[in-house]
Amino acid sequence: MVVFAFCFMFLGACSNNYLMNSDDIQKEDDQYRICLQRGLNNIEVVKEFHEIYPTAFNYISYFSESNTPKVWNGEVGLYRRYILTLQLNVEIDRSRLTVKEIGEPVFFLNEIINVTENSGGSYQIQNGQSHSFSQIEWSKIYQSHGNLSVIGINLKTNYPVTGFDKALTTP
């Protein structure tokens, strides 16, 4: 059960992996971890994002899907109210275990204004304002050490949302 949960969350839903034996799953997991670390070390925008937001959660969507484009995701909570996401199409070379960026990254900032627990333990998340921005705007944010106001986004820094941690971890 734990292996399936890991596989589902981190290896891109693993539609065919339920047929894999435990050695194959371990190999896939090892390859994923190597590619993730190499992406953190070698993709410039990912390195910058991690430098500014060292607690960001990074993952590669669709890693195990052979005919599906791969997407690098970096996600971090800000001020217990906002979720900032970096998305970047990537190419995985499975023989060398390398990750290469394809195209330009896109950034999304979503404000969470309310989190309510439903019966059964799921959560309903109410979003507020959202913004998206490009590599050019990211460069300004990076140069200002994470200050989003340099591109005209002013964050509410003293208004945390109760239950925010559930919004950050709810798929």
Taking residues 89-100, what's their average pLDDT? 86
Amino acid in the structure at residue 80: R
Percent over 70 (pLDDT), the chain = 86
Q: What does the mean pLDDT of the chain come to?
A: 85
The per-residue pLDDT for 18 is: 54
What are the pLDDT digits (tens) for 133-147?
999 999 999 999 999
Residue 1 has pLDDT above 70, yes or no: no
Burial bucket for residue 122 (CB in 10 Å: 0-12, 13-18, 19+): exposed
